[in-house]
Amino acid sequence: MGMSLAFHIVFAALGIGLPVLMATSEGLYLRTGRPVFLELSKRWSHGAAILFAVGAVSGTVLAFELGLLWPGFMEKAGAIIGMPFSLEGFAFFTEAIFLGLYLAGWNRLPPFVHWLCGVLVAVSGALSGIFVVSANSWMNSPAGFKIVGGKVTDIDPIAAMLNPAASHEVLHMILAAYVATSFAVAAIHAFFVLRDRANVFHRNALGIALALGCISAPLQMISGDFSARSVAKLQPVKLAAMEAVYYTQTGAPLQIGGIPDNASRTTRYALTIPRGLSLLSTHDPNGRVIGLEQFPRSDWPNVRLVHWAFDLMVGSGTALFMLSIAVGWFAWKQRGVPDGKSLLRALVAAGPLGFLAIEAGWFVTELGRQPWIIYGVMRTKEAVTPMNKIAIPFLIFTLLYIFLSVVVFYLLRRQFMKTGAPVSELLTNNV
Amino acid sequence: MFELIVAGFTFVALIFYAVTGGADFGGGMWDLLATGPRADARRNAIDKAIAPIWEADHVWLILVIVILFTGFPRAFAAMMTALNIPFTLMLIGIVLRGSAFTFRKYDVKSQEVHRRWSTLFGAASFFTPFIQGVALGALSTGQIRVVEGRLASGFFAGWLTPFALVCGLFALALFAFLSATYLTADPSTESDVKNDFRLRALWSGSALAPIAFVVFITSKQGAPAMYHGLTQWWAPLLIGMTLCFAIAALISLWLRRFALARIAAMAEVTLILGGWNLSQYPNLITPDITIFNAAAPAITLRLLTYALFAGAVVLFPSLFFLFRIFKGKESE
Distance (Å, whole) CA B130 – CA B175: 10
Alpha-carbon gap: A307 to the closest alpha carbon of chain B (Å):
34
Spatial CA neighbour of B314 closest among A301, A24, A124, A109: A124
| CB of B73 closer than 8 Å to CB of A82 | yes
Give the mutation candidate from B68, B102, B120 for the A interface (greatest A CB count, under 10 A).
Answer: B102
Rounded mean pLDDT, A347-366: 84
Res B318: pLDDT:
86
Task: Indicate yes or no: CB of B300 within 8 angstroms of CB of A155.
Answer: yes
Q: What is the DSSP letter of B153?
A: S
A residues 24..53 contacting B (CB < 8 A): 46, 49-50, 52-53
Confidence grade of residue A429 (pLDDT, cut at 50, 70, 90):
very low
Confidence grade of residue A426 (pLDDT, cut at 50, 70, 90):
very low
Rounded mean pLDDT, A51-72: 80
B28 phi and psi, to 5 degrees?
-60, -40
B186 interaction partners in chain A (CB closer than 8 Å): none
Alpha-carbon gap: B63 to the closest alpha carbon of chain A (Å):
5
Alpha-carbon gap: B308 to the closest alpha carbon of chain A (Å):
8
CATH of segment(s) B2-327? 1.20.1630.10
**Apex B111 CA angle, A47 and A409, nearest 5:** 30
Confidence grade of residue A387 (pLDDT, cut at 50, 70, 90):
low
Output the average pLDDT for chain A. Answer: 80
**Apex B314 CA angle, B308 and B318, nearest 5:** 130
Cβ of residue A155 closer than 8 Å to a chain B Cβ: yes
Cβ of residue A131 closer than 8 Å to a chain B Cβ: no
Confidence grade of residue B176 (pLDDT, cut at 50, 70, 90):
very high
Burial of B160 (0-12, 13-18, 19+ CB in 10 A): middle
Res B127: pLDDT:
92
**Candidate from A259-268, B95-104, B135-144, B308-317 with smallest mean pLDDT:** A259-268
Alpha-carbon gap: A355 to the closest alpha carbon of chain B (Å):
22
Nearest CA in chain B to A43: B106
Res A428: pLDDT:
38
Supply the ipTM of this predicted assembly.
0.80
Nearest to A93 among B59, B71, B325 (CB): B59
B119 phi and psi, to 5 degrees?
-60, -45
Give SS3 for B294. Answer: coil
Rounded mean pLDDT, A199-208: 82
Confidence grade of residue A420 (pLDDT, cut at 50, 70, 90):
very low
Confidence grade of residue A1 (pLDDT, cut at 50, 70, 90):
low
Alpha-carbon gap: B4 to the closest alpha carbon of chain A (Å):
16
CB within 8 Å of B325: residues ≥ 6 apart: A101, A105, A108, A109
Cβ of residue A257 closer than 8 Å to a chain B Cβ: no
Confidence grade of residue B130 (pLDDT, cut at 50, 70, 90):
very high
- List, for residues B13-53, the tens digit of each pLDDT value: 899 998 888 889 988 999 888 887 888 888 888 888 888 88
Other CB atoms within 10 Å distance of the CB of residue A84: 27
Distance (Å, whole) CA B231 – CA B210: 18
- CB contacts < 8 Å between A and B, how many? 213
Confidence grade of residue A168 (pLDDT, cut at 50, 70, 90):
confident
Confidence grade of residue A421 (pLDDT, cut at 50, 70, 90):
very low
Distance (Å, whole) CA A137 – CA A143: 10
Give the mutation candidate from B66, B103, B153 for the A interface (greatest A CB count, under 10 A).
Answer: B66
What is the model's pTM? Answer: 0.83
Give the mutation candidate from B155, B284, B300 for the A interface (greatest A CB count, under 10 A).
Answer: B300
Nearest CA in chain A to B294: A75
Give the mutation candidate from A8, A97, A148, A153 for the B interface (greatest B CB count, under 10 A).
Answer: A97
- List, for residues A242-287, the tens digit of each pLDDT value: 888 888 888 788 888 778 887 777 777 777 888 878 887 778 888 8
Alpha-carbon gap: B239 to the closest alpha carbon of chain A (Å):
33
